[in-house]
Chains A and B, each alone.
Chain A
Amino acid sequence: MLNYLIRRIVWMIPMLIGISLISFFIMHLAPGDITSTEAAFDPKSSEESRQKLRELYHLDKPVIVQYGLWLERMVHLDFGHSFASHQKPVFWAETDKDGNTTPGMIQEALPVTLLMNLVGLFLTLTLAVPLGVIAAKKYGRWPDRSITLFNFIGFSIPGFWLSLLLMYWLGVIHPWFPISGLHSLNYAQLDAWQKCQDLFMHLFLPVVIPAITGLAGVTMFVKNGMLDVLSQDFVITARAKGLSDRTVTYRHALRNALLPLITLVGLSLPGLIGGSVIAETIFAIPGMGKLFYDAVMMRDFPVIMGILTIGSALTLMGNLLADLAYAWADPRLRRGVMPQG
């Protein structure tokens, strides 16, 4: 087991280097750099100052040299400073000699996105599993049909449109929820309980709407898995033993049907830190999606690479965790992966 783990983790290093190399070159395939996006068409700026900037950021060197410089910094876990945002540290806070701290860009954006997506994923799963089970149990009858219909509606509605409609309904006509933003303006004056409430109210729409639109896929996945399992021999055996319908469904069938869900959740891990540009833009939430989008548009290379590196590291970790979870959940796999165990 331990050997396996170490092997996997060691293997992640060349994979990360490969990923970063490919990302770095793809990033540089896009025309332009920071000097063509920032103040580039302002007649008060001059080509000489842009050239100076290019030299300072080593943008005038060949891509492979730039990659080398980047890799050298990464070895020291230095993610560098943003080009576009006043040299803010890309990843984590830095303190200058006077004791003033400048927060890191990813450090500020990541917790928001993680919180939103984890709650969203949790919500999706807690709704999708029961709905999928019901749909499978009542296959072809009205509960199944109405769940399917609901799913297709949720799946087909453009998220941004639903968001705007609900923002209008629940924010303007009935002002129950804040329309956009993450904190109220008087957040700092609130006590701890009110702060939680404030955050909950602000996050309600941005979390619930993607959860509804994302529900369809997972529900169908659970439903089909259930249908497959329910028609297998061991379920018939279980029923023949005289077990109650409840025990058969939840103890025998569901546990098997949920196995593929581990893959699905594992695959969604990179998405957890990715965030959604559209939702974050509409709801004015400063998360990872907006950060990455703006960085790409500004050709802010250190930020792009920082997010991609952390993202791919987390993705590899997610894959590893999913594999481990599989091994834990499925004894057949455990034996296949680890013959000695």
Chain B
Amino acid sequence: MTNRCMTNRRLTRMHPICTKQYASIGQQLIIGMLCSALLACSADSPDQNTAALNQPYPAQTGGTLISAMPSDPSGMIGMVAGESASLAIGAYLFNSLLTFNQDLDLAGELAESWQVADDKNTITFKLKPGLQWADGKPLTSADVLFTWQLIIDEKTHSPYASDYQLVTKAEAPDAHTFIVHYAQPFAPALESWAHLQVLPKHKLAGQDIHTTSFAQKPLGSHYYQLKEWRHGEYLKLERNPKSVLGPANIDSVVERIIPDPAAQFLELMADNIDSMTLDPITYARIIPSRPALQAKLNQYKELGNSYTYLGFNLKRKPFDDVRVRKAINYAIDKQEIIDGVYLGLGIAIASPYKPGTRWSNPDLTPYPFDPAKAKQLLAEAGYVDSNGDGIVERDGKELSFEVLTNLGNKQREKTAVIIQRRLKEVGIETRIRTLEWASLLTNFIKPGDFDAVVMGWGLSLDPDQYSIWHSSQQGPGQFNFIGYNNPAVDKLLEQGRIEFDPEKRMQIYHDFAKVLYEDSPLVYLSAGYGLTAIHKRVQGIMNPVPPAGVGYDSHKWYLPEPLRRTQIQAE
């Protein structure tokens, strides 16, 4: 549940999905061994309750939902915590002015309405009437103003401050109105107000945001409030009856901290947790091989908010030649990677946007696997195998480069190996090197000392990708580290930032994706599915899964009384 919540609300921050999988020790190995162990001692007995699980019950309140997350949040103030666990728990506790609805369009959360002034420099938010914090104190525009002042404060160490620093002036003329002024139109502003978790002024005023005990004992306004937190063990959340969006159905939510995915899966089997995120092997192989377990679970798949790519250092030869980049794109079989690495649980993409959403250009199709065309393009670029060693050269120099990826991310390592083989078939030699995340970033990406990388980008819900593709964003530590420089793209990105009209923006980003497609500055490899298993005792889950993800309306989920865990109720 959390992880889905994270995907639909907060992972829109474009977290580097799966970039840091250190904690899962030999995850693949463990799963593999476990898989054989499970098959070897199959002790399934048909569960009599399975029939009851499939029976629909009317919506009702009460019960405890238990799920697992891989790491302990560092604190509850998302703006300074900067990691996904804090943001995920924060999403249970705090509201933002805006949110995304089930179709991923902007909608009001604390705000009843919002209006962009004619000069597009001013946004006025009107708050819903009668908002209150869980302690009964009124939630007003003063709290929103306070939160904004907090995140832009010089003393606040927030990695996310930059969007809010663009606000030249913010004001709260009355308790229900919040107005922000920008020096120039900034369309992604609206999305930024869907991310800022509004904090209570009456609890935090005058406190040091970094050391305040509020991070351990928060007070929010959303569906749940924190009741108990055993560090590194579990968090207990209790329904907030004063929730500004109306109370949730399920009484309490427990998030257990279980770092190891194999241990999480055992807990799921033993019916100690109700939901967990799955990896492709568990989803496609392990659960289907255990009918008794499968009968107790609903499995969900939804397109995640990230994609994997092969990126080139465009400042280096031969990647400055578009024919070479296209040749590599044609030489790689994306479907093979999806089938081999993700067990088919992914799709090939043609633009840096989630397929099926408004921003994804439907006219583009992924580069097909076409080695003949790849060889032809290489020949056009002057690369031929003249000495018969199987590797093409130009001016006596072989086409050979190094592919870097981060250590511990098995999916990327496998992907790199598959690419290596396909490129060899068209006469390109590659060497794979895996590096620990911090070292990859500091020693290679930041100084621009690499040939090619297999990495991932998150897909944001707002289409603005200025920081990734604009030519001005190439400095050390900035995100256009591949050195992409195309005036046409720069212009489109600048236009997209000042255009608020969704239809016009859509056209701009469709054009942008088309230019990228023709330029092929990186090879889109795959967008994987997010996979979740939820016990069938949880009912009221939207089916089919909306674009916003399975956890989108988790407040409407309910646990029918006959299906609840008895021992937890006994408390």
- Report A's interface with B, CB cutoff 8 A: 30-33, 36-50, 52-53, 56, 81-82, 84-88, 94, 96, 98, 100-103, 108-109, 160-161, 164-165, 167-169, 171-173, 175, 178-183, 185-186, 188-189, 277-278, 281-286, 290, 293-294, 297, 299
Contact = CB atoms under 8 A, between A and B. Distances in A.
B82 A102 contact: no
Nearest to A181: B233
A164 B262 contact: yes
28 contacts: A30-B439, A31-B442, A32-B437, A32-B441, A36-B446, A38-B159, A41-B19, A42-B13, A42-B14, A43-B460, A45-B159, A88-B75, A94-B211, A96-B211, A102-B211, A161-B33, A164-B34, A164-B262, A167-B266, A171-B266, A172-B269, A180-B267, A182-B230, A185-B236, A277-B25, A281-B259, A286-B233, A293-B22
A287 to B, nearest CB: 8
B81 interface: yes
B33 A284 contact: no
B56 interface: no
B281 to A, nearest CB: 15
Label chain B's interface by main secondary structure: loop
A98 B86 CA distance: 24
Contact of B162 (A45, A173, A181, A186): A45
Given A30-B438, A100-B217, A168-B38, A182 B30 contact: no
A188 B233 CA distance: 13
B259 A168 contact: no
A86 B212 CA distance: 9
A101 to B, nearest CB: 7
A190 B534 CA distance: 29
Nearest to B457: A43
Nearest to B75: A86
Interface stretch (B104-112, B250-258, B513-521): B250-258
Interface of B: 13-16, 19-20, 22-26, 30, 33-34, 37-38, 41, 43, 66, 71-72, 74-75, 77, 80-83, 86, 157-163, 195, 210-213, 215-217, 228, 230-234, 236, 254, 256-260, 262-263, 266-267, 269-270, 272, 437-439, 441-443, 446, 457-458, 460, 465, 467-468, 475-479, 567-568, 570-571
Given A42-B16, A281-B24, A284-B232, 12 more contacts: A37-B437, A41-B479, A44-B13, A48-B162, A86-B75, A86-B86, A108-B231, A171-B270, A178-B272, A180-B263, A181-B233, A281-B25
Contact of A32 (B215, B442, B568): B442
Contacts of B254: 185
Given A49-B158, A86-B74, A173-B41, A282 B438 contact: no
A37 B158 CA distance: 14
Contact of B213 (A38, A100, A161): A100
B565 to A, nearest CB: 10
B263 A283 contact: yes
A37 B442 CA distance: 10
Contacts of A100: 213, 216-217
A196 to B, nearest CB: 17
Given A85-B75, A86-B81, A160 B442 contact: no
A86 B78 CA distance: 10
B467 A43 contact: yes
Contacts of A178: 272
Interface centre among A33, A109, A168, A285 (most CB of B within 10 A): A168
A52 B256 contact: no
B72 A181 contact: no
Contact of A98 (B15, B75, B213, B465): B213
Contacts of B442: 31-32, 36
Nearest to B571: A186
Contacts of B476: 47
Nearest to B188: A44
Contact of B465 (A43, A45, A86, A103): A43
Contacts of A294: 23, 71
A181 B260 contact: no
A188 B228 contact: yes
Given A167-B266, A286-B257, A86 B33 contact: no
Given A41-B19, A42-B14, A43-B460, A86 B80 contact: yes
A173 B479 CA distance: 49
A41 B30 CA distance: 28
Nearest to B267: A179
Contact of B270 (A36, A96, A175, A285): A175
B210 A182 contact: no
Given A36-B438, A181-B233, A84 B159 contact: no
A42 B72 contact: no
Contact of A49 (B22, B162, B230): B162
B82 A164 contact: no
A94 B215 CA distance: 14
Contact of B37 (A84, A168, A183): A168
A108 B229 CA distance: 13
Contacts of B216: 100, 102
Contacts of A98: 213
A103 B38 contact: no
A33 B443 CA distance: 12
Nearest to B479: A43
Contacts of B439: 30-32
A278 B438 contact: no
Nearest to B155: A56
Given A31-B442, A53-B157, A183-B233, A43 B37 contact: no
A106 to B, nearest CB: 12
Contacts of B479: 41, 43
Nearest to B567: A186
Contacts of B25: 160, 277-278, 281-282
A51 to B, nearest CB: 8
Contact of B571 (A36, A43, A56, A189): A189
B211 to A, nearest CB: 5
A179 B266 contact: yes
Nearest to A38: B82
Contacts of A49: 157-162
Contacts of A41: 16, 19, 441, 479
A179 B272 contact: yes
Contact of A281 (B16, B260, B266, B446): B260
Interface centre among A39, A286, A294 (most CB of B within 10 A): A39
Interface centre among B38, B161, B460 (most CB of A within 10 A): B161
Given A39-B82, A160-B26, A282 B263 contact: yes
A183 B160 contact: no
Interface centre among A32, A86, A100 (most CB of B within 10 A): A86
A181 B478 contact: no
Contact of B157 (A30, A52, A283): A52
Given A108-B231, A173-B41, A286-B72, A37 B438 contact: yes
Given A100-B213, A181-B233, A42 B15 contact: yes
A39 B233 CA distance: 24
Contacts of A43: 14, 457-458, 460, 465, 467-468, 479
Contacts of B215: 86
A284 B74 contact: no
Contacts of A186: 567-568, 570-571
Nearest to B44: A173
Given A36-B442, A284-B258, A86 B26 contact: no
Contact of A282 (B260, B272, B475): B260
A179 B270 contact: yes
The 10 closest A-B pairs by CB, nearest first: A286-B232, A32-B438, A86-B75, A100-B213, A45-B159, A46-B162, A31-B442, A85-B74, A39-B159, A87-B210
B243 to A, nearest CB: 23
Nearest to B66: A185
Contact of A47 (B15, B75, B232, B475): B475
